[in-house]
Amino acid sequence: MTGGTTSLSGMNVVGRGASASTSRTVLITGVSKGLGRSLALELAKRGHTVIGCSRAQDKLNALHNDLSSSADSNSSSSDKHLLLNADVRSNSSVEELARIVMEKKGVPDIIVNNAGTINRNNKIWEVPVEEFDTVMDTNVKGTANVLRHFIPMMITRKQGIIVNMSSGWGRSGAALVAPYCASKWAIEGLTRSVAKELPEGMAVVALNPGVINTEMLASCFGNSAALYQAPEAWALKAATMILNLTAADNGASLTV
């Protein structure tokens, strides 16, 4: 239902409409807050079509309104974006996500695997097993689920860029966040391996966003997180970098 929310095969859909002919179509997971939200808004301002997913329906509704108001003046429709309620931790949920995306928007030009979470500061032997599993299920399995269902779609077009959000802690270690570090090291290795499996014309990269003032950073750094740049400032640089990625970047570990 245009401009609203409707149920489709167990998933909630926000927004519909054909993308503008000049628009790149970008799928962003974990789009309802933090880096994903800021990146979506920046891309919309530049006239690109955003497809996003999150588990938080209320935040998806709010983002849909903001995306519509952020659409550039050249956009043929302020309602061209598509936001879906989906859980990347669930393979069946991502499978349904891929089906709806293909039906409504076709194959994305760019995918940003942004959905992620972090454990509460704790030594590894004090991290609850459920919390460890949530970090791995979201950060690693969630990314793998998206790759599993969207790469075959991209291969049919023999083009597409995939950005797997990594971290500085995916290239180094830090006390009290071992599960998160392990998950991002896994993203680095997964990305390099998948890069060797992709056909020519496609690329997958691991992207370290840098240190940004988000809820996740605040959970680690406390009040000092406010000393770092806001997601909105980060998105200005990140959007340009992501839009300029090419097949020549396949397998790279990059930093904004």
Half-sphere exposure in the Cβ direction for 174 (13 Å, CA):
19
Distances (CA, A) of 27 to 33, 125, 146, 228, 242: 15, 36, 10, 26, 12
Q: Which residues are catalytic?
A: 180
Q: Which residue has the tokens 């966040």?
A: 177
Phi, psi for residue 193 in degrees, rounded to 5: -70, -45
Strands of 49-54's sheet, edge to edge?
5-8, 11-14, 82-85, 49-54, 25-29, 110-113, 160-165, 202-208, 253-255
What is residue 50's three-state secondary structure? strand
Q: How far apart are CA 256 and CA 235, in angstroms?
A: 9
The whole-angstrom separation of Cα 231 and Cα 174 is 22
